Structure 1
Amino acid sequence: SWGIKPDLSFGGAVGLMFLMLGCALPIYNQYWPLFVLFFYILSPIPYCIARRLVDDTDAMSNACKELAIFLTTGIVVSAFGLPIVFARAHLIEWGACALVLTGNTVIFATILGFFLVFGSNDDFSWQQW
């Protein structure tokens, strides 16, 4: 599993590069898309909380995990919707919107990859970090 860590960090760096290009290129020069950083931070929180609160043998654990996935999906959809709303409101250009959406795709794929690689291991604990 050591070989996947550089790949995840590279994916995060590429995603943030697309976000910064959508903001800082001289033809765009608007920093409104940086608000999607809040969605990057918020997206894993419901699932992490649900994993720590529930036990797999509990009947309510399935409902709690489903709620966490629903909330996470709402956060991810909002992250994709915000640049589109900004572009339609003429706060940013459509090219900047495309760059931000590309960055969103890469970042959320990286977050998903992290949870697929490190989330399935039962003996994984946060104390390893």
Structure 2
Amino acid sequence: MAGVKALVGLSFTGVIGLTFLMLGCALENYGVYWPLFVLIFYAICPIPHLIAKRVSDDTDAASSACRELAYFLTTGIVVSAFGLPIILARVEAIKWGACGLVLAGNSVIFLTVLGFFLLFGRGDDFSWEQW
């Protein structure tokens, strides 16, 4: 039952993050949908970690090259997701208020993704793989 509560809580925080993103796009003062391109970063963010988890051996080594590469690629994706709205605001494609809302949404979404992998990616008997 605790896993269901955690999953519902993560879903709720994900919805809050997406609400910030949609507010940054759809409010009357902003009205430009360019910030929705960060959805691509949301979708590809967990992919390097999932690939590294499947490819790397199951030894309990402190570090592996595959895992470190996955962390590096994930960091690049997250930084790019934060950089895109800032670049769009600097070239005046979106307003700075929309940029702030998108950055708030990015923070919430990426903390939700991190929480998901911390809660369900441990590899014990209660794992995200059962979903």
TMscore range, shorter length: over 0.9
Which residues of 2 match residues 100-115 of structure 1 at below 5 A?
100-115=102-117
Cα distance in 1, alignment partners of residues 81 and 65 from structure 2: 24
Secondary structure (helix, strand or coil) at the match of 1:2 reads helix
User: Gaps spanning 5+ residues in structure 2: where?
Assistant: none
TM-score by length of 1: 0.93
Report how far residue 54 of structure 1 moved. 1.0
Report how far residue 2 of structure 1 moved. 2.1
Report whether the alignment pairs 1:19 with 2:25.
no
- Aligned-pair RMSD on alpha carbons? 1.5
Cα distance in 1, alignment partners of residues 87 and 68 from structure 2: 28
Give the fraction of aligned pairs with identical amino acids, expressed as a percent. Answer: 65
Cα distance per residue 1:55-85 (max 9 Å; x no partner): 13287x7110000000000000000000000
Equivalent residue number for residue 79 of structure 2: 77
Q: Contact 2:25–2:33 (CA<8 Å) still a contact in 1?
A: yes
Report how far residue 121 of structure 1 moved. 2.8
Cα distance per residue 1:2-38 (max 9 Å; x no partner): 2111110001000000000000000000000000000
Q: Which amino acid aligns with 2:103?
A: L
Q: How many residues align?
A: 127
The structure 1 segments of at least 4 consecutive aligned residues displaced by more than 2 Å after TM superposition are 56-59, 121-126
Report how far residue 125 of structure 1 moved. 6.1
TM-score by length of 2: 0.92
Q: Contact 2:120–2:128 (CA<8 Å) still a contact in 1?
A: no
Cα distance in 1, alignment partners of residues 4 and 19 from structure 2: 24
User: Gaps spanning 5+ residues in structure 1: where?
Assistant: none
